[in-house]
Amino acid sequence: MLVNILWPVVPAAIAIYFAYFARRDLPVWIFSLNYIAMVPSANLLGFAGGELAKKLPKVFGVLLETTLTSVVEIVLFMVLLHKDEGGNLIPVIQAAILGSILANLLLCLGLCFFFGGLRREHQSFHEAVSEVGTGLLLVAGFGLLIPSAFHSALSGSPSNINISPEELSHSTLVISRSTSVILLVAFLMYLFYNLRSHHSIFDEVLELDEHQDEDREKELKRAKLTLTECFLAIVISLVCVCMSAVFLVQEIESIVHERNVSDNFMGLILVPLVEKAAEHLTAIDEAWDNQINFALFHCLGPSIQTAFLNAPLAVLVGWGLGKDMGLNFEIFMIVLVVLSILVVGNFLRDGKSNYLEGGLCVLIYVIIAVTTWYYPKVEPQGIKLAHHEA
């Protein structure tokens, strides 16, 4: 509820965007206000999605809620793809894909473990949630790593390998598109597993979690949104989120080039923090109330959806638009994601969490953020090829 105090920023962000046409010196204000404006909008989207989820079967409701909040990320990717010219925004999209996974795994899950562990010695979660989640994330990390590893292994052009930079880039792009199709198939399998073949296990786990809710009595007495109110709130929040996303993206290039902000820091840290605000707030609140399995769903689920749906969707839409959007990430960044998956998987292995594990995850995220701030600007692949040809 405290996030609602930011709602006055939403009309201010819209107004200053249109004022920009009269004055051309407001990119930082437009970016900052729309960045803040996305938080209450995303929070309303998450709240309305949560209210709608309570009227549906448990697992289906949680997955639908995750999908609704992922709309923010998808909108940002699509707008960035549309705005891209000559590959200038591709590094931002690629960094945002990895940053979204990192934000959920290290920051969000870490804060859930930390705040949930402050009120109790430890929290126990069901192995079905943690094992399936970490297994899927390992597969996702492997799938996202392959194109980058392929390009990195051959970019040195050893003497016994005859391949030009143009051929290497084309082959990497084909591998990225093929991998994206395969990841989408994996996502459909994940949905079938959760919603059809094994839904009873997860329904039982989440039902038990509801009874462990320390605010259960207060929650039952609270007035609920009707179905019509849920849809109305979702539509309003989606409109606000999409407007803020479009206005914010308009200024990313200006911030990156004129303010010397690394495109990796923009994509890996700044963009994921605001696009995942709703899920983070929801998950932390659930962990605080001892609903740790719900919190895990809201941390691992969005990461899985980003890797298996949102990233492949960005690649395939870029393909349709004639953009060279691929999964050839900076090797430094993709290694960070794979290592983070391994660290989180190790913490989840014993089925228990405490504030120490949560604090360590957050500290790792802070280290990554500091390092990314000093990471040099990435030159788009198309520009590299042009220089090479010259």
Q: What is the pLDDT of residue 386?
A: 41
In this structure, which amino acid lies at residue 94? Q
- 352 strand-pairing partners: 124
% of the chain with per-residue pLDDT over 70 = 89
Query: Is 146 contained in some domain?
Result: yes
Domain span holding position 180: 2-215+225-374
pLDDT in tens, 76-93: 888 888 888 877 788 888
pLDDT top residue among 62 and 103: 103
pLDDT in tens, 238-293: 888 888 888 887 777 777 777 777 777 888 888 888 777 777 888 888 888 888 88
Left, alpha or beta for 322 (phi > 0: left; psi -120 to 50: alpha)?
left
Query: Is 80 contained in some domain?
Result: yes
Query: Is 387 contained in some domain?
Result: no
Query: Is 159 contained in some domain?
Result: yes
pLDDT for residue 144 is more than 60 = yes
Q: What is the pLDDT of residue 361?
A: 92
Q: What is the pLDDT of residue 173?
A: 93
Task: Yes or no: say if 92 and 266 are a contact pair by the CB < 8 Å rule.
Answer: yes
pLDDT class of 384 with cuts at 50, 70, 90: very low
Residue 359's CATH number: 1.20.1420.30
Q: What is the pLDDT of residue 219?
A: 65
pLDDT in tens, 175-204: 999 999 999 999 999 888 888 777 666 677
Query: Is 390 contained in some domain?
Result: no
Nearest CA-CA partner of 349 in 155, 176, 133 = 133
Query: How many other CB atoms sit within 10 Å of the CB of residue 310?
Result: 21
Q: What is the pLDDT of residue 91?
A: 86
pLDDT for residue 390 is more than 50 = no
Query: Is 171 contained in some domain?
Result: yes
pLDDT in tens, 213-239: 666 666 666 777 888 888 998 899 888
> Could you give the CA distance from residue 179 to residue 169 in angstroms, rounded to a whole number?
15
What total of structural domains would you count in the chain? 1
Q: What is the pLDDT of residue 53?
A: 80
Q: What DSSP line would sit under 10-36, residue for residue?
A: HHHHHHHHHHTTT-S--HHHHHHHHHH
- 123 strand-pairing partners: 353
pLDDT class of 377 with cuts at 50, 70, 90: low
Q: What is the pTM of this model?
A: 0.85
Query: Is 389 contained in some domain?
Result: no
Work out the mean pLDDT of the chain and round it to a whole number. 82
Query: Is 326 contained in some domain?
Result: yes
